[in-house]
Amino acid sequence: MRKLIDLPSQESEKTLDKNEQKTRPAKVKSPVKSKGQTGQNMKHESAEKHVTGKAVYVDDMPEYPNQLHIAVGGSAHAHAKIKSIDLTSVRETLGVVDVITVHDVPGHVDIGPVFSGDPVLVEELCEYIGQPIFAVAADTMEIAKAAVAKAKIEYDVLEPTLTVEKALEDKFFVRPTHQLVRGDAAKALAEAPNRIQGQQHVNGQEHFYLEGQVCSVLPTEDGGMKVYSSTQHPTEVQKLVAEVLDISLNKVQVEIRRMGGGFGGKETQAAPLACIAAIVANKTGRPVKYRMSRTDDMVMTGKRHPFFNTYDVAFDEQGIMMGSNIMVAGNCGNSPDLSDAIVDRAMFHSDNAYYLNNTKVVGHRCKTHTTSNTAYRGFGGPQGVILGELMMDDIARHLGEDPLTIRKRNLYGIKHDHIKVEHGEKKGQVDERNQTHYGQIVENNVLPELIEELETTSEYWKRREEIKQFNANSPFLKKGLSLTPVKFGISFTVQFLNQAGALVHVYTDGSIHLNHGGTEMGQGLFLKVAQVVAEEFQVDLDTIQVSATNTEKVPNTSPTAASSGTDLNGMAARDACLRIKAGMVKFAAEHYGAQEDDISFDNNHLVIAKKLDSKKGEDLSIEEQRVPFADFVQQAYMGRVPLSSTGFYKTPKIHYDRASGQGRPFYYYANGASVSEVLVDTLTGESRLVRTDILHDVGRSLNPAIDKGQIEGAFIQGMGWLTTEELKWNDQGRLLTSGPATYKIPAVGDTPFEFNVNLLEDKPNREETIYRSKAVGEPPFMLGISVWSAIRDAIASLADYKYGAQMDTPATPECVLRSVQATKEHARKAAQEQKA
Ligand code: MTE
Ligand code: HPA
Ligand code: MOS
């Protein structure tokens, strides 16, 4: 076990405005600290409520006596035109109160979040199986569901496009293709001593949040709507509900206390439910709940984008990349949704942690007649990163080197005497090998050191030898080992989203109320932001009450996504605290006849440390007075000091010009690395994760316990994506894996026998993030790639580590067996050639 990180208060005060400087933290500190400040291991604010069932989710809220329940009827075909709809028997079903179609929508019909393409209900053209056509409102969900089945819909069935290959062939895209270019890839590829090509099909992933999509809406007396929605993006739900109803935003209020997981699946996908429920509520004047069944949720809502990736890479004798042509093609489903930004993120991250010299990265947004794919932890990043890792493994096999050696040589910031490169855009300069293909300089590059530390603590090389020995003596069971790093860009790539607001009240008994624009989905955001407030006022965490995210408290919010929840909302809450403190300090100085500089906050007290003798050169004697925080707040209230404030934050330094593909889209990078050891049965294709070691960089952790939980959870979720979670559609475009019986998420038995997770120590974020912490939500997801790479490593042992057979994801037993066969075939041919 590592020691916990002892966290001093924010030290970047000099950069804050004048007002804020005056409220610097306590100079006179008692040895007793208030409880729960940042840096401490605090349990999730709802941990007990989660396990006792007291936590209230949307579906747990009290029902209204006249509440209606929704079930939606969806398209039976992946691609078809509706010829006729007969809903007579649906309407006549006992207990059915209303049935709506697109003709009942008072306002906007298209609810696409960024680009159009998502009809709230289909009028004519159906583009995936399950696409909503009509909604039934009934006294119970069971009645509504039964009634849906009675609809008679006639279709003109059209040919569907169901694969990325077909979409690429037909140039069938939801958004235009985009590319990032640096130097001359074609020239480098033509001239290099070594050149290989490879490809991979990377499958999608079902979010499988434990709480499915759900909302509950209530018409208000002003013709508006109160919406409880399990959403990561309350403001967008507010906007879309207002638009479909053709009312102003100020008439719609959206609230969410917590989600039972979101994982990106509730960034845009919660809104359609709220819109449908609101249309019904508006029409009937009754409260409406819409909770999807698990099957509907899996069939109707978007998932992680499957990708088809190819590379053509040139490298020197040491395996250092000299040029590359990279293609990432995302299967976006039937509409744009967030796919433009998702494929962009895949393009940004196809380097993973490696310096891509002369390169061309092309990103396609393929359209298929499946549900519209959406945000999922990593937001396209993982699908790009895994291509970078594929290249590393394949280069290593080609040269017969250990993949870790090749990885280390290609890392950003590693200079090689034999390589001097000049790029077109910076002619005359020797390349520092620290600039990404989109122009961002990789600063604060902890990876080389981090990898070295993990290499040592995981005993990589010792185990490498042991594994080679084991494999030499074991004909069928093969072990594999792989270390893969992560470099993940933190910020929304869409600049305006990088802002946040907060609202803090201090009540007269000293208790504090905190609200901000971020949403809680289990990641511990509410706790971390409360810890920030506890830190600022130096009070116990349990004096702070966090309330549900609500568009009437903090408006115009960004989704809680891109791992930036704490960075953004933590800073906004701190800003609110600083404003309140500024007023308090001013008042305290007057009230106690002291200088503002003499006032500080410490261990639930206001401290007045008056300097008694101010003659120059002499030691100052200090008279210290300590007033309990609650007593002081009462005094401040009587002194008519404002005890409430909003706060605001926007991320500095970021800029990006998409047309030229140049800029600094990310405020900073989050890093980590993992080493996984697997055991593969080459007769059955089954594999087992034996041991994983992780070293991850969260800067100065706000809460090491929560951060470790995020790292462990993300790793397991990433591993599930790449090993057992298989989405399968039939040739009609019907999702066959539409429930837990056929779609297998990792269970506790799939976790590694040995799991060593550590935080990188003593590496505060060099950027001025909240107390120098780093975002943690998504980056460790990509640590799961070491499992996939280790399975390939085990298979490569069948060809003396000289061949890297294609292995798509997930690496199910069937998929592993295909790769095993290809490897054996290669080895057989190689042996024959040698004989001849
Ligand atoms: N952790 C839990 N327990 N549940 C979740 O739904 N979502 C992940 C990550 N960790 C998620 C989670 C995703 S996709 C993101 S973007 C971040 O949390 C969002 O929260 P943050 O920005 O506060 O880290
Ligand atoms: N990450 C996650 N969600 C997003 C982003 C992003 O970069 N952009 C828009 N929504
Ligand atoms: Mo996370 S995919 O950015 O919600």
- C-beta 341 within 6 A of ligand 2: yes
| Residue 729: DSSP 8-state | B
Q: DSSP readout, 46-95?
A: THHHHHHT-SPPGGGSPPPTT-EEEEEEE-SSSSEEEEEEE-HHHHHSTT
Q: Is the pLDDT score of 384 beyond 90?
A: yes
348 lines ligand 2 (CB under 6 A): no
- Of 492, 558, 567, the one to substitute when testing ligand 2's pocket (max ligand atoms within 8 A of C-beta) is 492
- Per-residue model confidence as pLDDT tens digits over 658-672: 999 999 999 999 999
Give the pLDDT band (50/70/90) at residue 272. Answer: very high
Give 631's pLDDT tier (boundaries 50, 70, 90).
very high
Q: What atom in ligand 1 is closest to the CA of residue 565?
A: 22
Residues 666 and 683 sit within 8 Å (Cβ to Cβ): no
Expressed in angstroms, the distance from the first to the final Cα of the chain is 56
Task: Say if residue 10's pLDDT is above 50.
Answer: no
Mean local confidence (pLDDT), 167-184: 98
Q: In whole angstroms, what separates CA 167 from the centre of its chain?
A: 27
Query: Which atom of ligand 3 is nearest the CA belonging to 266?
Result: 4
DSSP conformation letters of 130-194:
T-EEEEEEESSHHHHHHHHTT-EEEEEE-PPP-SHHHHHHHT-EEEEEEEEEES-HHHHHHH-SE
CA of residue 173 to ligand 3 center, whole Å: 23
- Exposed e or buried b for every residue in 611-624, given b needs 16+ CB within 10 A? eeeeeeeeeeeeee
3-state secondary structure 478-531: EEEEEEEEEEEEECCCCHHHCEEEEEEEECCCCCEEEEECCCCCCCCHHHHHHH
Kindly state if the Cβ of 562 falls inside 6 Å of ligand 2. Answer: yes
Alpha-carbon distance of 466 to 790, in angstroms, equals 15
3-state SS string for 612-628 = CCCCCCCCCCEEEEEEE
State residue 622's pLDDT score.
Answer: 84
Distance of CA 91 to the CA centre of its chain: 42
Helix (H) or strand (E) holding 308: strand 307-315
Atom of ligand 2 nearest to the CA of 492: 7
Q: What pLDDT does 737 receive?
A: 98
Residue 3 clears pLDDT 80, i.e. is over it: no
Confidence grade of residue 418 (pLDDT, cut at 50, 70, 90): confident
Q: What average pLDDT is seen over the chain?
A: 94
How confident is residue 174, by pLDDT bands cut at 50, 70 and 90?
very high
Active-site positions read 778
Q: Is 694 in the pocket of ligand 2 (CB under 6 A)?
A: no
Instruction: Note whether 603 and 537 are within 8 A (CB).
Output: no
Q: What is the pLDDT of residue 24?
A: 37
What is the number of the ligand closest to the CA of 776? 1
Decide: 376 in ligand 2 pocket, CB within 6 A. Answer: no
Give the model's confidence band at 32: pLDDT under 50 very low, under 70 low, under 90 confident, else very high.
confident
Average pLDDT over residues 174-181: 98
Q: What was the pLDDT predicted at 836?
A: 83
- The CA distances from residue 62 to 56, 212, 519, 549, in Å, are 10, 18, 21, 19
With beta carbons less than 8 A apart as the criterion, state whether 16 and 578 touch: yes
20 vs 835, more confident = 835
Reported as a pLDDT band with limits 50, 70 and 90, residue 613 is low
Q: List residues bridging with 73 in a β-sheet.
A: 134
How many Cβ atoms from other residues are within 10 Å of residue 434's Cβ? 16
pLDDT at 417: 87
pLDDT band, residue 617 (cuts 50/70/90): low
Among 115, 266, 494, 778, residue to substitute to test ligand 2 (most atoms within 8 Å of Cβ)? 494
330: DSSP letter: E
The response to whether residue 654 sits with its C-beta less than 6 Å from ligand 2 reads no
Q: What pLDDT, in 10s, does the model give residues 321-353?
A: 999 999 999 999 999 999 999 999 999 999 999
Measure 281 CA to ligand 2 centroid, in angstroms.
Answer: 31
Phi and psi, residue 274, nearest 5°: -65, -40
Q: Determine the distance separating the centroid of ligand 3 and the alpha carbon of 522, expressed in angstroms.
A: 13
Q: Cα–Cα distances in Å, from 708 out to 298, 385, 484, 668, 703? A: 29, 22, 18, 20, 9
pLDDT above 90: residue 216: yes
Q: 0.75 exceeded by the pTM?
A: yes
Q: How many CB atoms lie within 10 A of CB 517?
A: 28
Q: What's the gap in Å between 454 CA and the centre of ligand 2?
A: 30
- For ligand 2, atom 2, name the residue with the nearest CA: 562
Residue 428 has pLDDT above 90, yes or no: no
Amino acid at 24: R
Ligand 2 touching residue 561 (CB < 6 A): yes
Atom of ligand 3 nearest to the CA of 376: 2
pLDDT at 421: 63
588 C-beta closer than 6 A to ligand 2: no
Block residue for tokens 């009230």? 591
The rounded Å distance from CA 375 to ligand 2 centre is 7
Residues contacting ligand 1 via CB (< 6 Å): 261-264, 377, 521-523, 525, 560-566, 710, 713, 777-778
Residues near 624 by beta carbon (within 8 Å), at least 6 away in sequence: 28, 607, 608, 609, 610
* Angle formed by the axes of helices 234-245 and 271-284, nearest 10°: 40
Residue 621 pLDDT grade (very low, low, confident, very high; cuts 50, 70, 90) = confident
Average pLDDT over residues 136-160: 98
Torsion of CA 657, 662, 663, 669, to 10 degrees: 120
**Which residue ranges have their beta carbon within 6 Å of ligand 3?**
232, 264, 267, 375-377, 379, 561-562, 778
Determine which residue's CA is closest to atom 8 belonging to ligand 2.
492
Report how far ligand 2's centroid is from the alpha carbon of 764 (Å).
25
Structure tokens at 381: 């990043």
Confidence of residue 8 (pLDDT cuts 50, 70, 90): very low
How many Å lie between the centroid of ligand 3 and the Cα of residue 378?
6
Task: Answer for the pair 798, 831: CB distance below 8 angstroms, yes or no.
Answer: no
> Of all residues in the chain, what percent carry a pLDDT higher than 70?
94
Helix, strand, or coil (residue 832): helix
Q: 442-483 pLDDT, tens per residue?
A: 999 999 999 999 999 999 999 999 999 999 999 999 999 999
Is pLDDT at 630 greater than 80 in this prediction?
yes
Token pair, residue 478, equals 């093969």
pLDDT for residue 431: 66
Query: Is 375's C-beta closer than 6 angstroms to any atom of ligand 2?
Result: yes
Interatomic CA distance for residues 535 and 357, integer angstroms: 45
Best probe residue, ligand 1, of 778, 781, 783 (max atoms within 8 Å of C-beta) = 778
Residue nearest to atom 6 of ligand 2 (CA): 492
For the chain, give the number of residues. Answer: 836
Q: Could you give the maximum distance between any two Cα atoms of the chain, in Å?
A: 98
State whether the beta carbon of 629 lies less than 6 angstroms from ligand 2. no
CA atoms within 13 A on the CB side of 434: 15
| Residue 338, both tokens | 């967030």
Q: What is the 3-state secondary structure (H, E, C) of 769-792?
A: CHHHECCCCCHHHHHHHHHHHHHH
Answer yes or no: is the C-beta of 527 below 6 A from any ligand 2 atom.
no
